[in-house]
């Protein structure tokens, strides 16, 4: 198994409804391919962690890179893992508000402006 963490920017501001639709799509596909992970979104930026069999993770990430809803994909980490960090989550999700970002210094400047 591998774990892949990447960041990207939305090509346009996404509404909560659009984010929900994206989440449902991801959860369905991930369930079918036995992928788990989590997705963060704030101020037009995504951070996502995918975990599962190498072939499935690579296939999903390739699809994400081709998705016109995001650009500027950068892989932060890719490593072999022995067990899943999020075994129960076909895709966990958190919409970060400006309040979340400003109150918690552990969120990097990445969530303060778009990558592109």
Is the pLDDT at 107 greater than 50, yes or no?
A: no
Lowest mean pLDDT among 3-17, 39-53, 58-72, 94-108: 94-108
Collect all residues with Cβ–Cβ distance below 8 Å to 94 and sequence separation of at least 6. 38, 39, 40, 41
Length of the chain: 116
Identify the CATH assignment for 2-99 out of 3.30.70.100, 3.40.50.300, 1.10.10.60, 3.10.20.90: 3.30.70.100
Is the pLDDT at 17 greater than 60, yes or no?
A: yes
Does the predicted TM-score (pTM) go above 0.85? no
Alpha-carbon distance values, 91 to 34, 37, 40, 70, 83 (Å): 11, 5, 10, 18, 16
pLDDT tens digits, 38-80: 998 888 889 999 999 999 999 999 999 999 999 999 999 999 9
Q: Give the mean pLDDT of 4-17.
A: 92
């Amino acid at each position: 198994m591998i774990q892949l963490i990447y960041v990207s920017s939305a090509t346009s501001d996404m509404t909560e409804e659009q984010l929900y639709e994206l989440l449902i799509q991801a959860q369905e596909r991930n369930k079918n391919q036995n992928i788990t992970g989590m997705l963060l979104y704030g101020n037009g930026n995504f951070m996502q962690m995918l975990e599962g069999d190498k072939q499935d993770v690579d296939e999903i990430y390739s699809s994400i890179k081709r998705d016109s809803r995001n650009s500027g994909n950068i892989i932060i980490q890719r490593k072999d893992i022995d067990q899943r960090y999020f075994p129960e989550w076909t895709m966990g999700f958190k919409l970060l508000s400006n309040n979340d970002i400003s109150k918690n210094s552990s969120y990097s400047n990445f969530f303060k402006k778009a990558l592109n």
